[in-house]
Chains A and B, each alone.
Chain A
Amino acid sequence: MNIESKVTSAMEGTTHTLKAGVNTSFAVFVKTLEELGGSWIFFMRIIRTFRKTSGYKEAIIQQIAEVSTRTIGTVIFAGIFVGAILVLQFDVMLRRFDAQTLLGGLNTSATIREIGPMIISFLLAGKIGAFTTAELANMRVTEQIDAVESLGVSPIQYLIIPRFFAIVFSSVVLLAIGLSVSVVGSILVAQSFSGMNMYQYISSIPRFAGAWTIFEGLVRSIIFSTIVANTSTYKGYTASGGARGVGKAVTEAAIYINVYIVVANFISSSLLEWIHDLVYWFISLAERFFF
């Protein structure tokens, strides 16, 4: 082939790739909107049913026990490693700026507010989210959900609501445990890998991480847990198509949970920042007023 045709085919190839990229992106965009709509409607249905009916305590507690025992080991494992990774990274970077004394504070703050909830939620998306989707999807394609419905029992009440609330509650608690493990683990890692004294490390923490940090971490945890709970039950409940359908539902649940978490991270970040500024504005206003 001469130069001309090589260039032409290269250009064709690039155009084809670009077109494919744009097409895929557009299709994904439309599908995401459908997903969001369906998820939202499902969420509203759950809340409505929960408020109108009662008698869930036992079922929810049982689900909480199941979810927690399944997941606690993995969360602790992940917590330690996430903390460790961040310590190492921040240490190297802070060295560059000669600001190593800030390691403790920076790491703790970043872990609790941002990165900890996000990464550990990714893990929960798999362990809890995928599992719940798989369970419900299997029940759907083997007509168990239809059977429950045909006997006059509402599947939303019997299956979905206990799982939903159990997941939200358990995930928040598990995240709290995971973040605590992260923070404590970081202290130890800092000592062994960066040669930083434990007390040195802890001393910088109060400056960076206070009540507001924990509040932020908590808010994020609740939002991410709700995403895991809603998306996983929704995808499982609406699965169809035999074994293949189960696989598809689990895959989509895993993907959507992760993407929703990242987007929610941004939205909650902006929101919390705005609220933070507002609160402090009020406080400064009050100070001026009263003093």
Chain B
Amino acid sequence: MSIRFESVSKSFGTKKILDDVSFEVTRGEVLFILGKSGMGKSVTLKHIIGVFAPDAGKVFVDQYEVSAMTSGARMDDLTLVRQRCGMVFQHPALLDSLTNFENIAFGLRSKQYSQKIGRKLSEEEIRDVVLEKLSLVYLEPEILQLYPHEVSYGVQKRVSMARTLAPGPEYLLFDEPTTGLDPLSTSSINALISELSRKLKVTSIIVSHDMACALSIADQIMFLDQGKILLMAPPKEVISSAIPLVQDFFKETMELLPPDWSLEK
């Protein structure tokens, strides 16, 4: 059970964003994808849920070949994949016209979800699930009746996480979860991601700029540059890597970390 990329290439116009990329993420792992801005990190994530189709190569989620499902008749199968993978976008992307409660419950009401579990959830059950996920992200039930624009950005981010968690996906994909947040929110979101991965035993793939976070909670770190994988290794190896870009990243990160920081989890 894993997510697999086999020799995936993707270009947008003349720009090659992914160049012969191959890797595998096994169940229960936490993978961080790091790299400079615009180097194809988000694009990689979107390949997993079939938003993009590769120009060459294949993408697998468990036994499903996602890259073959992106058009035509196979598009219905895409929902099977999407139910397994929950994606948390960079911006909360909550639906403005629905309350926070309705946003979190969104995935639970769809026909596909009812098909997946074999029946339709009652309102009570939906409410239970929503409250459960809400507590996982450390939010109070009071915010449920409010609309997204009535709560702070940090709260919106947590609500969007709860929304993704509600259908109980086996893989969690995070697209730059802490970019643009203040330091306090950043560390609480990081702690939350770490806790969720451990607690729920889900496989997490996190696209980020935040190397400090990566070093603390990742099982594997992958560096993307110019569409190629520079390095994919556990944090210990990353620190001692000889690759210039990785060293630069690490050096900059070290400047920002507190002096007593170490690799102890």
List residues of A whose CB falls within 8 A of some B CB.
139, 142-144, 146-153
For residue B160, CB closer than 8 A to chain A, the reply is yes
Docked complex Cα distance between A152 and B50 (Å): 11
Determine whether B234 belongs to the interface, using a CB cutoff of 8 Å to chain A.
no
A147-B160 in contact given A142-B93, A152-B83 (Cβ < 8 Å):
yes
Alpha-carbon separation in the docked complex, A248 to B82 (Å): 31
B61 within 8 A of A: no
A144 & B94 in contact (Cβ 8 Å cutoff): yes
- Across the interface, do B91 and A152 meet the contact criterion of CB distance under 8 Å? no
CB distance from B113 to the nearest CB of A (A): 6
Q: For chain B, residues 75 to 124, give those with C-beta under 8 angstroms from any C-beta of chain A.
A: 79, 82-83, 85-87, 89-91, 93-96, 106-107, 110, 112-113
- Across the interface, which residues of A come within 8 angstroms of B87, CB to CB? 146-147, 150
Q: Does B215 contact A (CB under 8 A)?
A: no
Closest Cβ of chain A to B215, distance in Å, is 28
Taking CB atoms, residues of chain B closer than 8 Å to A151 are: 82, 106-107, 110, 163-164, 167
User: Could you tell me the dominant secondary structure of chain B's interface residues?
Assistant: mixed
Assess the A143–B90 pair: CB atoms within 8 A. yes
Check if A150 sits within 8 Å of B49, measured CB to CB.
yes
Residues of B within 8 A of A142 (CB): 91, 93
A152 to chain B, nearest CB (A): 4
- Within the complex, the shortest CB–CB distance from B12 to chain A, in Å, comes to 11
Distance in Å from the Cβ of A49 to the closest Cβ of chain B?
11
What are 12 A-B contacts with C-beta separation under 8 Å?
A142-B91, A143-B91, A144-B94, A146-B51, A147-B89, A149-B49, A149-B51, A149-B82, A150-B51, A151-B110, A152-B107, A152-B113
Determine the main DSSP class of A at the interface with B: helix
Query: Chain A nearest CB: distance from B42 CB in Å?
Result: 10
Extra 18 A-B pairs, beta carbons < 8 Å, given A152-B113, A153-B110 = A139-B96, A143-B90, A144-B94, A144-B95, A146-B46, A146-B93, A147-B89, A147-B93, A148-B95, A150-B82, A150-B87, A150-B164, A151-B82, A151-B107, A152-B82, A152-B112, A152-B167, A153-B107
CB of A127, distance to nearest CB on chain B (Å): 19
Tell me which residues across on chain B come within 8 A of A148, comparing CB atoms: 95, 106
Residue of B nearest to A151 (CB): B107
Chain A-chain B contacts (Cβ-Cβ < 8 Å), number: 55
Distance of A142 Cα from B94 Cα, bound (Å): 9
| Closest Cβ neighbor of A145 among chain B residues | B93
A152, B163: Cα distance in complex, Å: 12
Q: Which has the most chain A C-beta neighbours within 10 Å: B86, B90, B95, B163?
A: B95
B86 and A150 form a contact (CB under 8 A)? yes
User: How far in angstroms is the closest Cβ of chain B from A185?
Assistant: 36
A152 touching B89 by the CB < 8 A rule? Answer: no
Q: Which chain A residues lie closer than 8 Å to B164 at the CB level?
A: 150-151
**Given A151-B107, A151-B110, A153-B110, A146-B89 contact (CB < 8 Å):** yes
- Report A-chain residues with C-beta under 8 Å of the C-beta of B163: 147, 151
Residues of B within 8 A of A153 (CB): 106-107, 110, 112
Alpha-carbon separation in the docked complex, A6 to B49 (Å)? 64
Give Cα A68–Cα B106 distance, bound, in whole angstroms: 27
Give Cα distance in the complex from A147 to B88, angstroms: 8
Which partner residue on chain B sits nearest A152 by CB separation?
B112
What residue in chain A is nearest B51 (Cβ atoms)? A146
Task: For A139, list chain B residues within 8 Å (CB).
Answer: 95-96
Across the interface, which residues of B come within 8 angstroms of A143, CB to CB? 89-91, 93
CA distance A147 to B167 in the complex (A): 13
List of A residues within 8 angstroms of B89 by Cβ: 143, 146-147
Closest 3 CB pairs of A and B: A151-B107, A147-B93, A152-B112
**Chain B hits for A147, CB < 8 A:** 87, 89, 93-95, 160, 163
> Shortest Cβ distance from A255 into chain B, in angstroms?
24
CA distance A142 to B160 in the complex (A): 13
Q: Could you say which of A139, A151, A153 has the most chain B C-beta atoms within 10 Å of its C-beta?
A: A151
In contact, A152 and B93 (Cβ under 8 angstroms): no
For the complex, give the distance between the alpha carbons of A142 and B79 in Å: 22
Contacts of B96 in A (CB 8 A): 139, 144
- Min CB distance, A56 to chain B, in Å? 13
Shortest CB-to-CB span from B177 to chain A, Å, is 13
**Which residues of B in the span 145-169 have a Cβ within 8 Å of any Cβ on A?**
160, 163-164, 167
Which residue of A has the minimal Cβ distance to B173? A150
- Complex Cα spacing A149 to B85, Å: 12
Cα distance A183–B86 in the bound complex, in angstroms: 56
* B79 lies within 8 A of A144 (CB): no
Bound CA span A144–B95, Å: 6
Distance A151 CA – B107 CA, assembled complex (angstroms): 5
* B90→A152 contact, CB < 8 A: no
Q: How far is the CA of A279 from the CA of B89 in the complex (A)?
A: 58
User: Across the interface, do A152 and B79 meet the contact criterion of CB distance under 8 Å?
Assistant: yes
Residues of B contacting A152 in the complex (Cβ-Cβ under 8 angstroms):
79, 82-83, 107, 110, 112-113, 167
Could you tell me the distance in whole angstroms from the C-beta of B175 to the nearest C-beta in chain A?
9
Residues of chain A within 8 A (CB-CB) of B113 are: 152
A6 to chain B, nearest CB (A): 44
Interface core residue of B83, B87, B113 (most chain A CB under 10 Å):
B87
